Amino acid sequence: MDAREMKIKAAEAALAYVEDGMKLGIGTGSTAEEFVRLLAEKVSAGLNVEGVPTSERTARLCVELGVPLKSLDELPELDLTIDGADEVDAQLRLVKGGGGALLREKIVAAASRQMIVIADETKVVDCLGAFPLPIEINPFGQKATQIAIETLCSKMGLSGELKIRGRADGSVFMTDGGHLILDASFGRIPDADALANQLNAIPGVVEHGLFINIASLAIIAGPAGAREMK
């Protein structure tokens, strides 16, 4: 089974949790897009759901495939969010934001009664941090914010490079909300809960990619099929 087939397997298993009439949060990334494709098939066969997209990219795909969309202001309380992740640990703590959508992803997941993560087994880790942690920052005072993050990290014994995310054409990556992303390569984050709390205390940090106590189920696909982590 190749990487795409594993993503499809995880997305298929998640679709079993979608019920008629549900209000759904719809994630961002290549795995979430497989879910959107399968959901669109069910919608065209008569499933009645409404979705809140977590990015402009996801919104475009949903519109193209005919998945009905609403804004989070129109549907502020959601039944279920289904989204991918860059890393998942045994406590269902996540690193997200590889696609740069972490702020809307976290807002949408927090507005949902349940968040299900879909991923292939390469995303399961013993310790978070091998994937660079995306930290969304306000462009105002970006250097001061970067220094504050570096100071915090060195106090916490975390060392690694912090890099403003760029695009392939050399321009700076801007999120849907008009913010920058700092990717922090730590290697290992021994105390993810403490780091999450302390990052939230830095004023220029809009949000970070540590999702803690948000997901309640992960569907992990491997060559042998999909399994659940709770």
- Bind-site residues for substrate: 28-31, 83-86, 96-99, 123
The single residue of 33, 34, 87, 105 carrying the catalytic annotation is: 105
Minimal distance, residue 68 CB to ligand 5RP, in Å: 22
Does residue 207 carry a catalytic annotation? Answer: no
Which residues of this chain interact with ligand 5RP, rule CB under 6 A? 27-32, 83-86, 96-102, 105
The residue ranges of DSSP E strands in the chain, in sequence order, are: 23-26, 50-53, 78-83, 87-88, 94-95, 112-120, 133-137, 162-164, 180-184, 205-208, 210-211, 217-222, 225-229
Closer to ligand 5RP by CB, 84 or 204: give it.
84
Minimum CB distance to ligand 5RP, residue 144 (Å)? 25
Tell me whether residue 2 or residue 20 sits nearer to ligand 5RP (CB atom). 2
Return the number of the residue (23 or 104) whose C-beta is nearest ligand 5RP.
Answer: 104
CA 14, CA 217: separation in Å to the nearest integer?
10
Q: What count of other Cβ atoms lies within 10 Å of the Cβ of residue 106?
A: 23
Classify strands 180-184 and 205-208 as parallel, antiparallel or unpaired: unpaired
DSSP secondary structure code for residue 121 in this structure:
G
> Which residues, other chains included, contact 21 with Cβ-Cβ below 8 Å and sequence gap of 6+?
48, 49
Closest approach of ligand 5RP to the CB of residue 157, in Å: 26
Q: Which residues are catalytic?
A: 105
